[in-house]
Amino acid sequence: MSSLRFSITSREGMARAGTLGTPHGEIQTPAFVPVGTKAGVKGILPSILESLGAQVVLANTYHLYLQPGEQIVKDAGGLGTFMDWKGPTMTDSGGFQVFSLGAAFGRTITKIAKGEELPRDQGMAVYDQEVQSQHGQLAVIDDQGVTFTSHHDGSLHRFTPERSIEIQHALGADMFFAFDECTAPTEPYEYQKEAMERTHRWALRSIKAHRQNIEASRTQAIFGIVQGGRHTDLRKESAKEIASLGFDGIGIGGSFSKEDMRGALQAAIPELPDELPRHFLGIGEPGDVLTGIAEGMDLFDCVAATRLGRHGTIYTKRGPITLTNEKHRTEFMPLDPETLVPGTEGFTRAYVSHQLRSHELLGQIIASMHNLGFIIQLVDGAREAIHEGRFATYREDFIRNYYGTV
């Protein structure tokens, strides 16, 4: 019996708004989920997260397994109590991090490819030559699981679907994900299919491991993950298979080109049960979020808002700006005159630019707060627009202003 209660209250086309009930409170969907990788959103107190409108936080299984260890989190009373967050919580499976922080730690890793696909023997478009030589040494995937080395100390570890579920049971989040293989977006069709089929086998093992724990099944919900890269036939096949396994919710994994993202969603979503919540993993760029909502997704998580903020880039209704650029040193105006973010109202671009250029933490914190508030407000506005039957116009207006096009 799932601990989740999900009801859809409004629709406009494929877009939908609803209420997702969890043991720690309700989530109004669609909703953006801030990422608290190590049981904390970088630089942001939980009370500030709440003031920004965050409804739910997602933490990282890989990182919490390595530090401080899932038993410490369990002994503290679970993830929410450990980080002093009273609302709903989620954890990922650790699959993406095992790959990106094992085989490619310290390199550029994205779930959305940019540019043309490269042949497999030339490496992957988002990785450099050194990554090729490391892949298969620091993270080795086989049909049973993944063996990897810690990026902290080089110690050897192994994740299987059963082990990932065991860790996530100990972390105690309201919702968590089955163990999957997240491939690089530019991997060829043959490997995407192989990885998808392995993900399906791991999904079955994950849900069995979860259902065997009666107490966890009553208090925690498990989401399966649809894979298949940029290929619509694989996405359709994966969605059918994952939908058949009895998960409490469905996640759609990344690993497609930006141009193919909408096609991948359109192939997968018609195969998913309408009554289950849908989570778009690792998606947080404003236009991509609105695309996901338009296609019927309910939840989104991404580190981009805080990561960009720490490096000096903020969202505005007229597009992103980098505050460390020279022209912003003397701009005595709000960060975004069209977006009021609680806690940042009194700061000007000039001031935050000064803080960032001086390498002061306060500048990073203010920019991160602004970006989180911006993306949360964007999704909240989309939800309100769905309720009022004007989401299509809302999306078109935002895209026109933010990107200069529709």
**For residues 63 and 206, what is the distance between their CA atoms, to the nearest angstrom?**
19
Distance of CA 313 to CAs 52, 156, 305, 380, Å? 18, 37, 9, 22
Query: Token match 């989180």: residue?
Result: 372
Q: Contact 253/283 with Cβ under 8 angstroms?
A: no
Q: Report the Cα–Cα distance between both ends of the chain, in Å, rounded.
A: 44
27 backbone dihedrals φ, ψ, rounded to 5°: -120, 125
- Give the up-direction half-sphere exposure of residue 302: CA atoms within 13 A in the CB hemisphere: 27
Catalytic residues: 92, 301
**For residues 113 and 127, what is the distance between their CA atoms, to the nearest angstrom?**
11
- Give the up-direction half-sphere exposure of residue 372: CA atoms within 13 A in the CB hemisphere: 34
What six digits make up the tokens of 375?
């993306």
Residues with Cβ within 8 Å of residue 377, at least 6 apart in sequence: 53, 339, 341
**For residues 180 and 253, what is the distance between their CA atoms, to the nearest angstrom?**
9
Residues in a beta bridge with 149:
156
User: Which one, of 107, 268, 315, lies nearest residue 280 by Cα?
Assistant: 268
